């Protein structure tokens, strides 16, 4: 029997940086519709939006996503994504879950499919971009990741992967057991930096409008 693959996009109504962020216009359509479309065009069997907001729900339905209403207690500023994912797992049938964030409009169906392909080998996967070493300083002007008298060369430092927050994939079993979006043997789907931007501020929105 084949495994049932579903995606869930968590989209609450009370965004702070950009009010009503999930339904704000980006390139002529609501922000959340970009990730809904990518999910629908991927190998996911069902695309869901988990929300506490009626307008977001209507936008999601219009874009051909299924909707799960979640309690307002799971959509506050202090609520964790894991709490919403566990609520989703308790109410929707699936074997493999693709957790997508609506603030990643440059996510493509190919990114999602690559992650799903990797699930034959890994327990969980997530998207990230490769970051080469750069000197970083604290707000108190103290070197954060180097000693200024022994500043390393970039080529002498190993590159790191930075989560870009676009998507995470895990199984229902592992989610319920670990209560985390990723666990076990973890793999990484590398995305380019330019497609890793998150929409969190109006500056981000302006930049992405120029990119698309």
Rounded to whole angstroms, the Cα distance separating 145 from 1 reads 49
Burial of 75 (0-12, 13-18, 19+ CB in 10 A): buried
Side-chain half-sphere CA neighbours of 13 within 13 A: 14
20 in active site: no
Query: Are the C-beta atoms of residues 134 and 42 closer than 8 Å to each other?
Result: no
b (16+ CB within 10 A) / e for 108-136: eeebbebbbeebeebbbbbbbbeeebeee
Closest C-alpha to 31, from 21, 17, 16, 19: 21
**Considering 12, 20, 70, 151, which one is annotated as catalytic?**
151
Q: Which residues are designated catalytic?
A: 151
């Amino acid at each position: 029997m084949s495994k049932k693959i579903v995606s869930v996009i968590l989209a609450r109504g009370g965004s702070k940086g950009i009010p009503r962020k999930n339904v704000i216009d980006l390139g002529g359509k609501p922000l959340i519709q970009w990730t809904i479309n990518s999910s629908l065009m991927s190998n996911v069997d069902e695309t869901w939006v988990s929300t506490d907001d009626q307008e977001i729900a209507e936008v999601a339905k219009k874009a051909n996503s299924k909707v799960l209403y979640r309690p307002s207690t799971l959509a506050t500023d202090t609520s964790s994504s894991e709490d919403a994912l566990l609520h989703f797992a308790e109410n929707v049938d699936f074997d493999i879950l693709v957790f997508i964030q609506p603030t990643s409009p440059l996510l493509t169906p190919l990114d999602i499919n690559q992650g799903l392909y990797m699930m034959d080998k890994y327990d969980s996967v997530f998207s990230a971009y490769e970051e080469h070493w750069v000197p970083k300083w604290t707000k108190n002007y103290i070197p954060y990741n180097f000693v200024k008298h022994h500043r390393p060369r970039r080529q002498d430092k190993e590159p790191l992967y930075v989560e870009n927050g676009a998507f995470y994939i895990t199984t229902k079993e592992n989610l319920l057991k670990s209560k985390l979006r990723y666990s076990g043997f973890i793999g990484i789907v590398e995305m380019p930096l330019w497609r890793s931007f998150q929409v969190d501020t109006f500056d981000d929105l302006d930049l992405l409008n120029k990119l698309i």
